[in-house]
Chains A and B, each alone.
Chain A
Amino acid sequence: MTNPFQYAPAPESRSIVDVAPSHGLFVDGEFVDGTGTPFKTVNPATEEVLSEIACASDADVDRAVKAARRAFTRTWGPMRPADRGKYLFRIARLLQERAREFAVLESLDNGKPIRESRDVDVPLAAAHFFYHAGWADKLDWAGLGPGPRPLGVAGQVIPWNFPLLMLAWKVAPALATGNTVVLKPAETTPLTALLFAEVCRQADLPPGVVNIVTGAGETGRAVVEHADVDKVAFTGSTEVGRSIARAVAGTRKRLTLELGGKAANIVFDDAPVDQAVEGIVQGIFSNQGHVCCAGSRLLVQENVHDEVIASLQRRIGTLRLGDPLDKNTDIGAINSAEQLARIRELVDVGEAEGAHRWQPACELPDRGFWFPPTVFTEVSPAHRIARDEVFGPVLSVLTFRTPDEAVAKANNTTYGLSAGVWTEKGSRILAVTDRLRAGVVWANTFNKFDPTSPFGGYKQSGYGREGGRQGLAAYLEGAQ
């Protein structure tokens, strides 16, 4: 029977954003031309070109770092901490004021559903500024040792999966601790960072405190390797993280890395199963699985495997894939053709390795980059889809029989960013959580974030924390 309740399209209006046909760099409080070869940013849901973006060359990056240094020495560094805080409060408020605009722009540029950009990315970004604003004049009380001082100029490179939110995670603590910033957004998602630059101007933030240099890997390399950068913060792939760690070796630069993950989401037979299924779905399909802490490995206790998978498949059947600007869309577009190719490649590998692929009946739009939610069952720990980060809507299901086996399989990865545990038994939650080698453990929930809550990885998922008291340490001299 066809469902009589067909949701009519409910698109969020695009008219709130006015995407300029071209964008410059944001250096020393001004939008300026770049001297590199400009590139185009496209809407991944339609392949429509949204804007032409300036590319920062080494010389442009140098100008940005100089501006940041000047601002650090002359304005931002000497400023009363309480006033720095007030600027951050202003920024937080402006993000809230312009929330709809940011959400629409984020969904256009990134492909993520408007429901997520509206209800998750943008409010959390504002919350990060709000939280850190309050720290600016209380750092002596942060318990990070006596007389914490800013490091200077922070060079920050962020990924395309949560463009504005990752910007907030980087910029808010850097500014709150008195540093100035040169930030490079991802090549495929520069637009909200550039809108954020406008917000900085609207807030009358002194020139040079925040500089935004757009470009690809070469621009990022220039930021990381610039001799006058005191601190490098990177979120992205482990592979790039490795090269950045090599690049800063032997320098005085401080480094924090937030890298990849292959999180285990462990479901015991006494789990609250409906919520566990929600957590699995949320864990791997939100943001199209473009999440470093995604619960990409489902470890389900063997005695409930069949019913959990049946529930999961039924639930996946209700996910709505399509226009990211439709308020009822659950799964948006894959961010780029490159990422789509990587997902396809790993899915092909999974099939070739003998895992069983399942996808719901799901119509994909003709244009743009799309991939349906995918579940692999009969996955062995030796399969590549159980080890490599797919960074897409692809779940690998493994089974276990005992808590020991669950922990052993969960930890059997080079990553250690996050994990999930689902059981109604309190002591088991604590025991399993204690033994999981992961920086964030969600027990009976998944993919929750908060500015007060430190986030970051063990092992090859990186080092340093973002958020909370612990996150401040990355930006303070003498912090312990």
Chain B
Amino acid sequence: MSDRLAVRKTYKLYLNGAFPRSESGRTYEVTDARGGFLANAAQASRKDARDAVVAARAAFGTWSGATAYNRGQVLYRVAEVMEGRHAQFCEEVAAGEGLSSSRARAAVDAAIDRWVWYAGWTDKLGAVLGGANPVAGAYFDFSLPEPTGVVAVLAPQRSSLLGLVSVLAPVLAGGNTAVVVTSRARPLPAVTLGEVLATSDLPGGVVNLLTGDAGELGPWLAEHDDVDAVDLAGAPADRAMELERLAAGSIKRVVRPPAEEPDWSADPGLGRLTPFLETKTVWHPMGL
């Protein structure tokens, strides 16, 4: 062991492409699976959540308006940068989730691979989910998937990287922007992912990562009129119904939490892409 004194990082939020502290000034202690001190993380407040929604809304036009090819390139680039941080992710996942280094590596591998998988979806969704509709009349009629808008994601509490990627990447692949409340107890891989995103080509505001408490921030996001959808994956079990009720106020699309946090290594299918896609149908007459 080196006797060098470690330089400790100060963990912050990732908001609108920058790394601010919580406006509340609050922080909380992050420990490893055995209770050993890891770091202090910023504890996001409702005002941080509000700012994040503003940033995500502002970024939506650019991100959703980019070509699908371009979104795929940007997302793939994220995977490349993640690969460069592979060792750091492994260390954080192992510490936070209490995994052996080989299981942590497997989780990080799966997370990066999943990100690549979703990166490849951007320019296929139109063909797979849309199409021409043979209407009975002299009209050309087609349907295309479009992003829902600003999605609030309560990330899984246990799977700190693979779970996070599994809920965030599909939101982005569809062209949405995201406000993510990370795992409260295991936020470090999310913080690192924020650094990855900041050093990729992802425009600021497309992803906003709030470390903190889903139970505290969830209601503000679920009730926010400018949030179009919520993924309740990491919502506290006893709060999910309340959050869904709040989301009903502005007719949000809601992905309910599973009864138990699932094994995120399973094939995800399209189940987390389609809830955040709208179908737009366009008619035009065909005449001379």
Binding partners A and B: yes
Interface residues of A (CB under 8 A from B): 127, 143, 145, 238, 241-243, 245-246, 249-250, 257, 259, 414, 429, 433, 437-445, 448, 450, 452-456, 458-463, 465, 468-470, 473, 480
Given A242-B248, A249-B244, A454-B143, verify A143-B128 contact (CB < 8 Å): yes
Residue of A whose beta carbon sits closest to that of B269: A480
Q: Which residues of B contact A469 (CB under 8 A)?
A: 131
Q: Spot the interface stretch: B7-15, B93-101, B275-283.
A: B275-283
Q: Which residues of A contact B148 (CB under 8 A)?
A: 458
Of A242, A249, A259, A450, the residue contacting B133 (CB under 8 A) is A450
Cross-chain contact of B139 among A245, A259, A429, A448 (Cβ < 8 A): A448
Chain B residues touching A, range: 35 or more
The answer to whether B281 touches A259, judged by C-beta atoms less than 8 angstroms apart, is no
Closest beta carbon of chain A to B60's beta carbon, Å:
10
Pairwise interchain contact A448-B283, C-beta atoms closer than 8 A: yes
- A463 contacts B284, C-beta separation under 8 Å: no
Say yes or no: A445 contacts B139, CB within 8 Å: yes
Residues of B within 8 A of A127 (CB): 136
Q: Report whether A453 and B284 are in contact in the complex, using a CB–CB cutoff of 8 Å.
A: no
Give the distance to chain A from B237, nearest Cβ to Cβ, in Å: 11
B134 on interface, CB distance cutoff 8 Å = yes
Measured between alpha carbons, how far is A452 from B137 in the docked complex, in Å?
Answer: 11
Q: Interface of B with A (CB < 8 Å)?
A: 128-129, 131, 133-137, 139, 141, 143, 148-149, 225, 228, 240-242, 244-245, 247-251, 253-254, 269-271, 273-274, 278-285
A470 vs B148: C-alpha distance when bound (angstroms): 16
Task: Write out the residue numbers on chain A whose beta carbons fall within 8 Å of the beta carbon of B134.
Answer: 452
Interchain nearest-CB distance for B90 vs A (Å): 31
Q: In the assembled complex, how far is the CB of residue A271 from the closest CB belonging to chain B, in whole angstroms?
A: 13
Q: Of A257, A461, A470, which contacts B279 at CB under 8 A?
A: A470
6 additional A-B residue pairs with CB within 8 Å, beyond A143-B128, A440-B281? A145-B269, A238-B251, A438-B280, A442-B283, A443-B283, A448-B135
> A249-B241, A453-B283 are known contacts. Are A468 and B133 too (CB-CB below 8 A)?
yes
Closest to B275 in A: A463
Q: Beyond A241-B251, A445-B139, A450-B133, is A455–B278 a contact (Cβ under 8 Å)? A: no
CA distance A462 to B225 in the complex (A): 14
Q: Is B245 a contact partner of A246 (Cβ separation < 8 A)?
A: yes
Q: With A250-B241, A468-B143 in contact, do A444 and B284 touch (Cβ < 8 Å)?
A: yes
Q: How far is the CA of A450 from the CA of B117 in the complex (A)?
A: 35
* B141/A429 in contact, CB under 8 A: no
Complex-state Cα separation, A441 to B142, whole angstroms: 10
Judge whether B251 and A441 touch: CB under 8 Å: no
Distance of A469 Cα from B274 Cα, bound (Å): 14
- The answer to whether A460 and B283 touch across the interface, beta carbons within 8 angstroms, is no
